[in-house]
Amino acid sequence: MKKHKDFISLSDFNPAEISELLDLADQLKKDRQAGKCEPILKGKTLAMIFAKSSTRTRISFEVGIHELGGVGFYLNSNDIQLGRGETVADTARVMSRYIDGIMIRTYSHNSVIELAKYSTVPIINGLTDLEHPCQVLCDLMTVREFKGQLKGLKMAYIGDGNNMANSLLHGAALTGMHIAVATPRGYESDPVCVSQAQDIAATTGAKIETIHDPDEAIKDADVVYTDTWISMGQEDEKKERMAVFSGFTIDRTMMSQAKKDAIFLHCLPAYRGYEMTAEVFEGPHSVVFDQAENRLHAQKAIMVKLMQDG
Ligand code: CP
Ligand code: NVA
């Protein structure tokens, strides 16, 4: 795998590189289970900038860098001068003098690209309004763990065409999956991400479908995925979204149209009674906590690939 400076979008990686990252994530998981966490990033520092809330991303990155022998620290973007108007470019150049890597969760995807442009250290995208690539690397790891393969499997994503849907389109395309994304009209995935996925799919044999009928999407799916209807920053649209998404709840009847051995995934946090029923969330298909655990292993793989010397 060529040395990438940053991890901003899955679409920056090729299928072989994704597979290499997944293999490393599996290895790091096995090592940890065997009680061996090698200090591969001994003495390295990771700054984590958050402009939005987080449970999984914050904790798994902090534990991950610690287990790799380094140190991570949390920065609320409002507590640093970035929140008072210091530019992204200046912040990037200053931080590059102190630390070895930056993970950032923010609103604007372009800000992350700008940070990467001006920093000399790796930038990891911990979620933007457009993409959530760390989550999807973990999701691919989870599907492979439960299904033994990725290529040829059908994934149904039902709900908002948001950052999760955009990155899942990239991830499915890169791994040769069939992805059917069903959203209400007007809430489709980003057209650039869809077209990137289609271009990648032409080389991997993946199938990309963007439709509006959840029943069609879930039919014979191996993997069923959903996410909140109201992403961070969309709180003001709650009333309108609740009405628009009302036919998109994954309940037992909808789930029964997937394959018998389908797995149910959710990036979390989940809102029972909205994007899925409590019964589906807690039911036999759900592997959401195994999925959440894999954030740790997948992100350790990302940090090793980006931050290891040499
Ligand atoms: N799935 C995810 O990114 O969770 P957090 O918002 O808790 O980090
Ligand atoms: N789409 C959600 C994902 C949370 C992990 C959001 O952006 O809030």
Asked if residue 281 and residue 180 are part of one domain, the reply reads yes
Asked if residue 23 and residue 126 are part of one domain, the reply reads yes
238 CA to centre of ligand 1 in angstroms: 19
Nearest-CA residue for atom 8 of ligand 2: 231
Ligand 2 in contact with 167 (CB < 6 A)?
no
Distance between CA atoms of 255 and 173, rounded to whole angstroms? 23
Asked if residue 210 and residue 121 are part of one domain, the reply reads no
| pLDDT 10s digits, 164-178 | 999 999 999 999 999
| Domain count along the chain | 2
> Can 170 be counted among the known catalytic residues?
no
Nearest-CA residue for atom 4 of ligand 1: 56
Asked if residue 200 and residue 178 are part of one domain, the reply reads yes
Nearest-CA residue for atom 3 of ligand 1: 57
Ligand 2 in contact with 267 (CB < 6 A)?
yes
Nearest-CA residue for atom 3 of ligand 2: 231
Asked if residue 109 and residue 21 are part of one domain, the reply reads yes
205 CA to centre of ligand 1 in angstroms: 30
Which of the following is catalytic: 132, 170, 266, 297?
A: 132
Ligand 2 in contact with 180 (CB < 6 A)?
no
Q: What is the pLDDT of residue 149?
A: 98
Nearest-CA residue for atom 2 of ligand 2: 231
Cα dist from 189 to 40, 127, 209, 212, whole Å: 37, 16, 11, 11
Strand stretches in 86-170, DSSP E:
101-105, 123-125, 154-158
Ligand 2 atom with the smallest distance to the CA of 232 is 8
Asked if residue 278 and residue 236 are part of one domain, the reply reads yes
Q: 128: domain CATH number?
A: 3.40.50.1370
Asked if residue 78 and residue 150 are part of one domain, the reply reads no
At residue 124, φ and ψ (nearest 5 deg) are -115, 125
Residue 63's domain spans which residues?
A: 10-132+295-307
Average pLDDT over residues 256-272: 98
Nearby residues of 271 by Cβ (< 8 Å), 6 or more positions away: 228, 229
* Centroid of chain to Cα 194: 16
Nearby residues of 246 by Cβ (< 8 Å), 6 or more positions away: none
pLDDT of 187 over the 90 cut = yes
> Can 132 be counted among the known catalytic residues?
yes
Q: What is the pLDDT of residue 58?
A: 98
Q: How far apart are the first and last CA of the chain?
A: 13
Asked if residue 263 and residue 226 are part of one domain, the reply reads yes
> Can 295 be counted among the known catalytic residues?
yes
Which of the following is catalytic: 109, 170, 295, 297?
A: 295
Residue 2 domain flag = no
Q: Return mean pLDDT, the chain.
A: 98
At residue 109, φ and ψ (nearest 5 deg) are -65, -35
Q: What is the pLDDT of residue 2?
A: 76
Asked if residue 208 and residue 118 are part of one domain, the reply reads no
Q: What is the pLDDT of residue 264?
A: 99
Which of the following is catalytic: 105, 178, 241, 297?
A: 105
Query: Per-residue confidence at 1, pLDDT binned at 50, 70, 90?
Result: confident
Asked if residue 257 and residue 165 are part of one domain, the reply reads yes
Query: Per-residue confidence at 96, pLDDT binned at 50, 70, 90?
Result: very high
Residue 261 domain flag = yes
Asked if residue 197 and residue 128 are part of one domain, the reply reads no
Ligand 2 in contact with 231 (CB < 6 A)?
yes
Ligand 2 in contact with 163 (CB < 6 A)?
yes
Q: What is the pLDDT of residue 206?
A: 98
